[in-house]
């Protein structure tokens, strides 16, 4: 089968190769991939700026159909449509984080798409506990966005615990910011979405998805917009989804006293903070990294209720041989989510 493989350490070393179809072990399930999303992490793996273990097939945001079950597997049937929790492919199962469900902090963890083979190919084999049934009526295209959506579900509903009546600032209208927006809109929270001048198309998307206020920072100062919209009070919560130092500062400035700040994006560098703002405003500063299995359960219930749809986040679908185009589109601020699909 064709696969997008990081075949050696270092910058680059990424190509479409012919690899053997993986055999399905007794305790495993084989899934035929329908779609796999391209994400910034894939580009970091390409450049070797994210930990990876070559040779490894890239791709960690995916959904597909069960095609085979090992003989010890029960409770899974052929033809079931599933999203796959790839981040838990390898964990120790014994440390305090594994035992409390916070497996993302396990020292031995290796996720699919960088630690072990991922989904920019036709077949993967996984454990049954990594499977999440996609509710009827929810497409596999949408389900392929489950991995980043789970990160948004944790950030909004579990870490920040945003409530109706509050005003939330989302700084950075990339895919994660827009996924957070969808949750906030569904919860009836007033939202302000801010983006850089180059984010015009994504800010347009934010408006379509129901943002109350959209701020193009090329045209208007964030603090002015926030104060106008909150009667001079400041926002209750700020979700930093841009991963940029000026956005970090903007979020802290925009918060009201006793507000909550959540770091959702990766900055990838050290950031200077107006740290006294934490003290004078008694701000709660949190980080949100990935999700737990519980988050994925909650996400499947959100899908089943049908109030949030993700189709309008998908801008392009390309075969894996066009990965260079897909990666470029992912870096281009015009695209929302780019999906790839297998080919023979
Ligand atoms: Zn990702
Ligand atoms: Zn562990």
Calculate how far, in angstroms, residue 210's C-alpha sits from the geometric centre of ligand 1. Answer: 24
Single out the residue of 295, 336, 302, 308 nearest to residue 155, CA to CA: 295
Whole-number Cα distances in Å, 334 to 109, 197, 204, 315: 34, 12, 10, 9
Residues with CB under 5 A from ligand 2 (ion): 91-92, 95, 98, 106
Q: How far is the CA of 60 from the centre of ligand 1 (A)?
A: 6
Residue 117 Cα to ligand 1 middle (Å): 14
- Give percent above pLDDT 70 in the chain: 100
C-alpha 279 to ligand 1 mean position (Å): 34
Distance CA(227)–CA(204), nearest Å, equals: 22
Task: Grade residue 332 by pLDDT with cuts at 50, 70 and 90.
Answer: confident
Which token pair is 211? 């943002």
pLDDT in tens, 30-79: 999 999 999 999 999 999 999 999 999 999 999 999 999 999 999 999 99
Name the residue among 266, 216, 222 with its Cα closest to residue 243: 266
- Residue 294 pLDDT: 96
How confident is residue 320, by pLDDT bands cut at 50, 70 and 90? very high
What is 283-341 written as a DSSP string? -EEEE--S--HHHHHHHHHHHHHTS---GGGEEEEEEGGGHHHHHHHHHSTT-SEEEEE
Would you say residue 268 has pLDDT above 90?
no
Give the Å distance between the CA of 289 and the centre of ligand 1.
Answer: 12
Tell whether the model's pLDDT for residue 248 goes beyond 90: yes
pLDDT for 146 beyond 90: yes
DSSP 210: T
Taking the centre of ligand 2 as the mean of its atom positions, its distance from the CA of residue 105, in whole angstroms, is 7
pLDDT at 29: 98
Residues β-bridged to residue 125: 30
Strand order in the sheet with 2-6: 14-18, 2-6, 56-57
What does pLDDT average to over the chain?
96
Looking at all shown ligands, the one closest to residue 107's CA atom is: 2
Residue 344's pLDDT band (cuts 50, 70, 90): confident
Give exposure, 277-308, as e/b (b: 16+ Cβ within 10 Å).
Answer: beeebebebeebebbbbebbebbbebbeeeeb
Ligand nearest to the CA of residue 98, numbered in listed order: 2
Query: Measured in angstroms, how far is the CA atom of residue 113 from the centroid of ligand 1?
Result: 9
Residues 6+ apart with CB under 8 A from 138: 303, 304, 306
Mean pLDDT, range 180-189, rounded to an integer: 98
Does residue 150 have a pLDDT over 90? yes
Distance 56 CA to ligand 2 centre (A): 22
Centroid of ligand 1 to alpha carbon of 76 (angstroms): 26
Reply yes or no on whether the pLDDT at 153 is more than 90.
yes
Distance 89 CA to ligand 2 centre (A): 12
């Amino acid at each position: 089968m064709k696969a997008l493989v990081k075949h050696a350490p270092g910058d680059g070393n990424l190509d479409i190769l012919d690899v053997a179809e993986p055999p399905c072990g007794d305790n495993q399930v084989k899934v035929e991939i329908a779609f796999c999303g391209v994400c910034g992490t894939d580009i970091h793996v390409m450049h070797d700026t994210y930990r990876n273990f070559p040779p490894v097939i890239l791709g960690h945001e995916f959904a597909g159909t069960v095609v085979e079950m090992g003989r010890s597997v029960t409770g899974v049937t052929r033809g079931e449509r599933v999203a796959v929790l790839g981040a838990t492919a390898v964990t120790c199962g014994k440390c305090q984080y594994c035992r409390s469900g916070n497996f993302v902090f396990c020292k031995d963890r290796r996720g699919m798409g960088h630690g072990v083979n991922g989904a920019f190919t036709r077949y993967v084999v996984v454990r049954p506990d990594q499977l999440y049934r996609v509710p009827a009526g929810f497409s596999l295209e949408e389900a392929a966005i489950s991995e980043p959506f789970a990160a948004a579900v944790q950030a909004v509903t579990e870490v920040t615990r945003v409530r109706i009546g509050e005003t939330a600032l989302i700084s950075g209208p990339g895919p994660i910011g827009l996924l957070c927006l969808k949750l906030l809109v569904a919860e009836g929270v007033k939202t302000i979405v801010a983006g850089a001048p180059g984010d015009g198309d994504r800010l347009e998307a934010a408006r379509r998805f129901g943002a109350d206020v959209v701020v193009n920072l090329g045209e208007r100062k964030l603090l002015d917009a926030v104060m106008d919209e909150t009667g001079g009070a400041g926002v209750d919560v700020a979700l930093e989804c841009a991963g940029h130092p000026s956005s970090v500062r903007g979020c802290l400035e925009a918060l009201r006293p006793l507000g909550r700040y959540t770091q959702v994006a990766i900055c990838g560098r050290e950031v200077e903070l107006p740290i006294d703002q934490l003290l004078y405003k008694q701000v709660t500063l949190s980080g949100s990294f990935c999700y737990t299995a519980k988050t994925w359960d909650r996400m499947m219930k959100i899908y089943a209720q049908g109030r949030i749809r993700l189709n309008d986040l998908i801008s392009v679908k390309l075969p894996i041989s066009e990965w260079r185009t897909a990666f470029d589109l992912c870096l281009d601020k015009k695209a929302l989510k780019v999906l790839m699909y297998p080919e023979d």
